[in-house]
């Protein structure tokens, strides 16, 4: 670490052999076997991505122009009419909701999150409610829940149905929010049919729906008007990045509410592929998305990561992850107090199932891994069943052996 004056270099202990920038701020690095979750700092950037970000940082650009350039690339990759780089999928949900409320009216943009007199309801299937919908509510809308997913009483087998969504639509409806997941009901196509027959925009949260790469186009193709993806998850972009893509007018509204617009009307000449100035009665002041600022380095990093992500085949990604997972397996060997398994189907995973008699519960073992040296963050979602998962997506080359050694020490 640097001393107070910043002149003397004192390396601090950490799990990687080389001295890290994190030492200078007294932060330890962790082994991320959880996957690209926000709380464990997303994933790792490819050298090509960091090189592009470094180069981007060495020049200045006009932010509307760089977003217009991003829009062309995002529309090629997603099939959407337009797209912008956001500071994450959650920011995309906020901006997308704002766009659905205000359209191209700068007066309405200026008043958010006060939605008095505007369309201020977003319809959502109750089983899709989640922590991230706070970003939608932050635009000033109320969420109208529909459907009753009866899972516990044993009486119900249904989730929401399209007619229930249709019934909830009124002249206050700003949008329908759909959270995409393999299990989401009703099917997106059915919700899109309802939305379009009533001229209500459909906003899809697809933050974590990648890979497969084909999902970059899937939701737009199924009829979504706006789709939010996380850039810091599977795409491999900067942790604080995301994509919002969709219809031209909605994206124009979204970017107007994100950009810094502290500029005179006559001085302002935004690229027409992203912002058609002729359609605006005036320039809105800084919008509700202004706190979701995205830097030029982030935009460039996301775009390079997106191209790399879209270019890799599912087979190649699978093989790359499988090789890492197999290395965890072979360096772990057989454990006295647990069964181990390499799961090859879907995204490859290394799974440890603790024996019932073992002195630690699944959660206790996860905590011991987390609090040990090196600190290893595994997937605790099945810990209540004694099952600990290890994902390959965010591992450094040297991590599999370090995980194996630690598992042998801890579980025998
Ligand atoms: C991760 C996630 C988000 C938030 O994505 P960020 O890019 O971190 O803002 C939103 N919705 C869902 C379903 C997610 O999994």
Residues 275 and 340 in one domain: no
- Per-residue pLDDT of 191-238, as tens digits, reads 999 999 999 999 999 999 999 999 999 999 999 999 999 999 999 999
**Domain containing 355: what range?**
21-32+314-411
- Lowest average pLDDT, out of 2-11, 144-153, 349-358, goes to 2-11
Task: Evaluate whether residue 56 is within a structural domain.
Answer: yes
Beta bridge partners of residue 178, listed in sequence order:
204
Closest to 411 measured CA to CA, from 373, 361, 371, 374:
361
Provide φ and ψ at 255, rounded to 5°.
-70, -35
Q: Which residues, in sequence order, are CB contacts of 273 under 8 Å at separation 6+?
A: 68, 71, 72, 82
Closest to 95 measured CA to CA, from 276, 287, 237, 235:
287
Query: 36: Cβ below 6 Å to ligand 1?
Result: no
Dihedral sign, CA of 97, 99, 105, 107?
A: positive
- The last residue of one of the domains, among 311, 332, 364, is 311
Farthest-apart Cα atoms in the chain, separation: 75
pLDDT at 18: 61
- Per-residue pLDDT of 321-369, as tens digits, reads 999 999 999 999 999 999 999 999 889 999 999 999 999 999 999 999 9
Task: Evaluate whether residue 81 is within a structural domain.
Answer: yes
Whether residue 407 has pLDDT greater than 90:
yes
- Per-residue pLDDT of 272-307, as tens digits, reads 999 999 999 999 999 999 999 999 999 999 999 999
Confidence of residue 16 (pLDDT cuts 50, 70, 90): low
Confidence of residue 156 (pLDDT cuts 50, 70, 90): low
Task: Evaluate whether residue 11 is within a structural domain.
Answer: no
In this structure, the residue with its CA closest to atom 13 of ligand 1 is 207
Residues 88 and 191 in one domain: yes
Confidence of residue 2 (pLDDT cuts 50, 70, 90): very low
**What is the Cα gyration radius of the chain?**
24
Whether residue 87 has pLDDT greater than 90:
yes
Provide the number of structural domains found in the chain: 2
pLDDT at 258: 98
- The last residue of one of the domains, among 271, 287, 311, is 311
∠ CA 352-358-360, rounded to 5°: 80
Whether residue 1 has pLDDT greater than 60:
no
Confidence of residue 17 (pLDDT cuts 50, 70, 90): low
Pocket test for ligand 1, best of 89, 96, 134 (most atoms within 8 A of CB): 89
Rounded to an integer, what distance in angstroms lies between the CA atom of residue 52 and that of residue 49?
5
Residues 26 and 65 in one domain: no
Confidence of residue 4 (pLDDT cuts 50, 70, 90): very low
pLDDT at 9: 41
Q: What's the rounded mean pLDDT across residues 117-123?
A: 98
Whether residue 392 has pLDDT greater than 70:
yes
**49: which 2 tokens?**
């991505």
- The last residue of one of the domains, among 247, 276, 311, is 311
Pocket test for ligand 1, best of 129, 132, 180, 243 (most atoms within 8 A of CB): 132
Ligand 1: atom nearest CA of 231 is: 7
Closest to 411 measured CA to CA, from 342, 352, 349:
352
∠ CA 237-241-245, rounded to 5°: 100
Task: Evaluate whether residue 38 is within a structural domain.
Answer: no
3-state secondary structure the chain: CECCCCCCECCCCCCCCCCCHHHHHCCCCEEECCCCCHHHCCCCCCHHHHHHHHHHHCCCCCHHHHHHHHHHHHHHHHCCCEEEEECCHHHHHHHHHHHHHHCCCHHHHHHCCCCCCCCCEEEEEHHHCCHHHHHHHCCCCEEEEECCCCCCCCCCCCCCCHHHHHHHCCCCEEEEEEECCCCCCCCHHHHHHHHHHCCCCEEEECCCCCCCCCHHHHHHHCCCCEEEEECCCCCCCCCCCEEEEECHHHHHHHHHCCCCCCCCHHHCCCCCCCCCHHHCCCCCCCCCCHHHCCCHHHHHHHHHHHHHHHHCCHHHHHHHHHHHHHHHHHHHCCCCCEEEEEECCCCCEEEEEECCCCCCCHHHHHHHHHHCCCEEECECCCHHHCEEEEECCCCCCCHHHHHHHHHHHHHC
Rounded to an integer, what distance in angstroms lies between the CA atom of residue 98 and that of residue 90?
12
Residues in the chain: 412
Query: 180: Cβ below 6 Å to ligand 1?
Result: no
Rounded to an integer, what distance in angstroms lies between the CA atom of residue 344 and that of residue 307?
26
Residue corresponding to tokens 């599912």:
314
Q: What percent of the chain has pLDDT over 70?
A: 94
CATH code of the domain containing 320: 3.90.1150.110
Q: What is the pTM of this model?
A: 0.94
Query: 35: Cβ below 6 Å to ligand 1?
Result: no
Task: Evaluate whether residue 10 is within a structural domain.
Answer: no
CA of 233 from ligand 1 middle (Å) equals 8
Task: Evaluate whether residue 12 is within a structural domain.
Answer: no
pLDDT at 7: 40
**407: which 2 tokens?**
């598992």
Query: 89: Cβ below 6 Å to ligand 1?
Result: yes
Task: Evaluate whether residue 13 is within a structural domain.
Answer: no
Q: What's the rounded mean pLDDT across residues 41-48?
A: 97
Rounded to an integer, what distance in angstroms lies between the CA atom of residue 258 and that of residue 87?
10
CATH code of the domain containing 264: 3.40.640.10
pLDDT at 90: 98
Query: 284: Cβ below 6 Å to ligand 1?
Result: no
CA of 94 from ligand 1 middle (Å) equals 12
Rounded to an integer, what distance in angstroms lies between the CA atom of residue 192 and that of residue 198?
10
Task: Evaluate whether residue 209 is within a structural domain.
Answer: yes
Residues 119 and 182 in one domain: yes
pLDDT at 15: 53
Q: How many CA atoms lie within 13 A of 399 on its CB side?
A: 23
Residues 330 and 371 in one domain: yes
């Amino acid at each position: 670490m640097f001393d107070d004056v910043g002149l003397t270099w004192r390396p601090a202990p950490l799990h990687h052999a080389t001295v890290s920038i994190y030492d200078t701020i007294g932060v330890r690095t962790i082994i991320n076997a959880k996957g690209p979750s926000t709380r464990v700092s997303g994933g790792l950037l490819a050298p090509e991505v960091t090189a592009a970000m470094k180069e981007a940082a060495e020049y200045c650009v006009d932010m509307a122009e760089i977003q217009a350039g991003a829009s062309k690339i995002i529309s090629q990759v997603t099939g959407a009419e337009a797209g912008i780089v956001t500071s994450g999928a959650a920011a995309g949900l906020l901006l997308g909701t704002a766009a659905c409320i205000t359209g191209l009216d700068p007066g309405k943009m200026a008043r958010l999150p006060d939605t008095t007199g505007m369309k201020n309801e977003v319809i959502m299937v109750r089983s899709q409610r989640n922590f991230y919908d706070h970003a939608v509510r932050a635009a000033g809308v109320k969420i109208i829940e529909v459907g009753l997913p009866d899972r516990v009483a044993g009486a119900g087998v249904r989730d929401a149905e399209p007619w229930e969504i249709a019934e909830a639509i009124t002249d206050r409806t700003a949008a329908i929010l759909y959270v995409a997941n393999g299990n989401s009901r009703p099917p997106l196509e059915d919700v899109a049919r309802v939305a379009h027959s009533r001229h209500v925009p459909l906003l899809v949260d697809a933050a974590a729906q990648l890979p497969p790469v084909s999902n970059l186009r899937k939701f737009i193709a199924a009829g979504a008007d706006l789709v939010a993806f996380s850039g810091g998850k599977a795409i491999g972009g900067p942790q604080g990045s995301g994509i919002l893509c969709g219809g031209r007018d909605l994206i124009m509204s979204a970017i107007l509410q994100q950009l810094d617009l502290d500029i005179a009307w006559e001085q302002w000449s935004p690229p027409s592929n992203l912002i058609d100035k002729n359609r605006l009665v005036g320039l809105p002041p800084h919008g509700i998305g202004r706190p979701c600022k995205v830097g030029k380095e982030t935009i460039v990093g996301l775009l390079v990561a997106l191209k790399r992500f879209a270019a890799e085949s599912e087979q190649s990604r699978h093989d790359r992850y499988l090789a890492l997972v197999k290395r965890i397996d072979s360096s772990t060997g057989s454990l006295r107090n647990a069964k181990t398994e390499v799961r090859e189907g879907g995204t490859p995973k290394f799974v440890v199932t603790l024996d019932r008699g073992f002195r630690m519960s699944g959660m206790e073992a996860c905590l011991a891994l987390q609090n040990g040296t090196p600190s290893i963050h595994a997937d605790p979602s099945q810990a209540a069943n004694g099952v600990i998962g290890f994902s390959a997506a965010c591992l450094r080359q040297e991590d599999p052996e370090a995980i194996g050694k630690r598992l042998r020490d801890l579980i025998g």
